[in-house]
Structures are given as structure tokens and as C-alpha cells.
Amino acid sequence: QRAMHAPARKAAGGGGRGPVASALLLLAVGVFAFLISYSVLAMVLRGGGNGGGGTTGVGTGARDPVVRMPEWMRAAGGARGQRRPFHVALTATDAPYSRWQCRVMYFWYKRMQARPEGADMGGFTRVLHSGKPDGLMDEIPTFVVSPLPAGKDRGYIVLNRPWAFVQWLQQAKIEEEYILMAEPDHIFVKPLPNLAFDNDPAAFPFFYITPSEHEKIIRKYYPEERGPITNVDPIGNSPVIIKKTLLEKIAPTWMNVSLQMKEDQETDKAFGWVLEMYAYAVASALHGVQHILRKDFMIQPPFDKKLDNTFIIHFTYGCDYTLKGVLTYGKIGEWRFDKRSYQDRPPPRNLTLPPPGVPESVVRLAANKLENYATSLL
């Protein structure tokens, strides 16, 4: 009987080893387990091993975290310091109102492109949709395209914009991989880098483009089965930096949706002069494209008062002030700058500077270094 229970006693007593030996054995096992865990953890943090996809060496100064960064962010980080040029394109007519704005815009494009930080600012094209050359052909790089057939724009000349881009993209040789869609009433105030990342274009969010507030209308062109209304960005086509290959897909849809919206009385009434902007946002969503929204892309005086770190001033609104610097929006001020005052001629060579108290954005717009200096060439 004692012999029968001997193995059990041996197992329980460690084969004759005393308490000290057992404690030492447990300690050794614990230390060994710690060393294995530390080695595995260190290898992961260094990006070692191929199982997680990271192959970055320790000496490179870069590593993947346990949760891998998105591919677009990885590419953007790797692209720092590399030139990613975009082609600047704006649509225009041969009317005096359009011509003087294009000259000012092109002047400041060249100024900012010439700076060291302007490396991403590539070529420039004025896409002229009047159907025939005009007097600026030798001054501004221009590509002439056809306007819509007579009566097709229904008096809304902006409908020519998507049609102009369709023709330009199909017929012109564009070397840059990216395109900045701009407008004549944009003034560059500092060099613009490429804000897009691969297939993620960059756009300015407009406070007055509100797809969610017009969901019933938007659903006529972007049905529920295509996705939530939030897929439609609060943007227009300009300013937008986008890959040329993406724009080549979006532009024909943008044109067709614009025409459909204009033909629909409910849509036309609801969207008015921003109809073509909504059409671009819808067309992008139909192609599964959403934009990086950059509020620093541009400012719109007089509502945006500070320059901050913006790249573009959009002078679409009239700026009217009393001589005490009080805004009189909707009423002609004692001091004013409104592009619509110059429908048939350029602004004067020496605009009067704004009175004290006017926001810096308006001062910058009218200052000698900007509007006055450029229009002195006209």
C-alpha cells in the first residue's frame, strides 16, 4: 500500500526537492516568460516581423504603430518635401467683367508661384468658353472651347463651366497629375501647396451649401440607395484640388446633373445661382468621391474678417462701409469695393484705401500690394 502511494507523494513533493528548490524553479520560469514577452513586444514596436506588414528597420527612424496608419496618410508623410504640382484652371468669358478679373488673378498666381513655397503651383490655363479667341490670348495661357448650344444655359451662364471642363479635359494636354479648379475672382495671398492626398481631393466648405437641408431635392439626383445625404459634401467645384483622373470621371456627370437641375423648376428655384455648385457636389458623391474640407483654403470678405493662414481671397461679396469702418451690407457705403461696379471696365488704378476699423481681410483686398498694384497693369 505504501508502494502504491509513492508516485503520488513524489508528484506532490517535487521528487524529493525541498521548498527552496521549488521556489527557485518558479522564479526561473517567471523570468523566462518575462524575457519572451519583452522580446515580442519590442519587435512589434520596432515594426519587426512580416506578419503585420511592417518591414521598417530600426535605423530608419520610422515605424508602424500596432494599429497601422491609413495608406493615404502614409503616402502623404512620405511625400513631404516632394513636389506634387497641380495645374490651375479657371473658366472665363470674353466680357470685360471677366477679363479684368482674370488678369488680376493671373498676376497674383505668377507672383506666388515664383516664391520658393510655390513649388506645387504648376501650369495655368484660362478655359475660355466664348468659342473664339480674345485679346488676352498672348497675355494669359488660354484654351478656347465651345459654349453650350444657344438657349441651353437658360440665361444661367455658369452652366457653361462644367461643359468647358469636359472639353478641356478631353482635348488639352495637361502634364500635371492634379488640377486646381479656380475662378477669376480669386486672389492668391500666399503660395498654395497641394492640399489633396491621392484620391482624396481638397475643397473649401461653403456655409450656404447645405445638402441636408435640401434632402428632398438632392434625392432626385442622389437616391437613398446610393448612400446617406452626408456623402454629398457642402462644396462647389471651386476651389478644389483634385486628381485629373478623378475629374475626368466626375466632369461629364457634373455637366449632366447641372442641366437636369436647371430644367427642374423646384430645384432651380431652391438653388438659384449656386445650382451648379450643388451639381458638382452631387456628381462627386455619385462617383463615391468625398473631399477633405479645408476652411483655410480661402476667405470671403467682408464676412471673414481675418486673413489667418488662408491662401486665397474670394471677392464675391460687395464690401460697403461707413467712414467710421461700420459695415453697411446691402446698402451702398461711403467706402466700397464691389466687383459688380466694374461690369464694363476694370477698377481704377488707385483705389482709395478703406477707412480705419475695416477688417484686415478687406484692407488686404484693397491694399496697394494686391488690388491696386495688379489693376495698375490694366
Pairing state of beta strands 319-321 and 312-314? unpaired
* Whether residue 137 has pLDDT greater than 90: yes
**What CATH number matches the domain at 83-297, 3.90.550.10, 3.40.605.10, 3.30.390.30, 2.130.10.10?**
3.90.550.10
pTM confidence score:
0.78
Distances in whole angstroms, Cα of residue 166 to Cα of each of 203, 220, 249, 262? 19, 23, 9, 18
User: What's the CA gap between 27 and 284, in Å, rounded?
Assistant: 64
- The set of residues, in sequence order, having a beta carbon less than 8 Å from that of 176 and lying 6+ positions away, is 85, 86, 87, 122, 123, 244
Alpha-carbon gap, residue 96 to 93, rounded angstroms:
9
Place of cell 497601422: 68
* Residue ranges of the chain assigned to CATH 3.90.550.10: 83-297
Stretch 41-54: mean pLDDT: 40
pLDDT at 82: 83
21-35, 212-226, 306-320: segment of lowest average pLDDT: 21-35
Average pLDDT of span 273-302: 97
